[in-house]
Amino acid sequence: MKRLLFLLPLLTLSWALLSQTQRQVEKAADGAFGAGSFAEAYEYYTLLMEYDTTIMDANYKLGVAANQLFAYPLAEKKLLEVRQSEEKVNFPYVDYWLGVASQGQGKYEEAKNYFETFLYSSSSLDASFLDKARKGMDKADWAMNQGET
């Protein structure tokens, strides 16, 4: 019994340190992401996933960072997790980024569908992203037409 009472404070301290470390990693990841340092953000968010894979904000930002680094399969995986979650409404650009990830993998039909979904559901968002989505659709159409000729 004495051993158990001795271990309880150690376990509590370990949990508190782990929680603090997770917050520090998340803060560093968000800082790198906000500064546009996507390689650094990618590393931090990957580390953060070791603590908790259910943080949708971290999954989303890891997916965006992976897109910026041309790691399209991982980007697609993480962004699909966000898209399929109950928190999807908090991430209005997820379909745009899935379009980018799909196009980067040569999945042009999927890319076009994601870009269309983004355009038709996101008219109040940043005009530059809407323009990029239209251009992404045009590129996907062009790529699909190349396969037909």
pLDDT at 131: 94
Q: What is the pTM of this model?
A: 0.83
Identity (one letter) of the amino acid at 44? Y
Nearest CA among 77, 93, 88, 94 for reference residue 128: 93
97: burial class by Cβ within 10 Å (0-12, 13-18, 19+)? Answer: buried
pLDDT mean for each 10 residues of the chain (149 residues)? 45 45 90 95 92 93 96 97 96 97 97 95 83 93 80
**Could you tell me if 76 and 100 are in contact, meaning their C-beta atoms sit under 8 angstroms apart?**
no
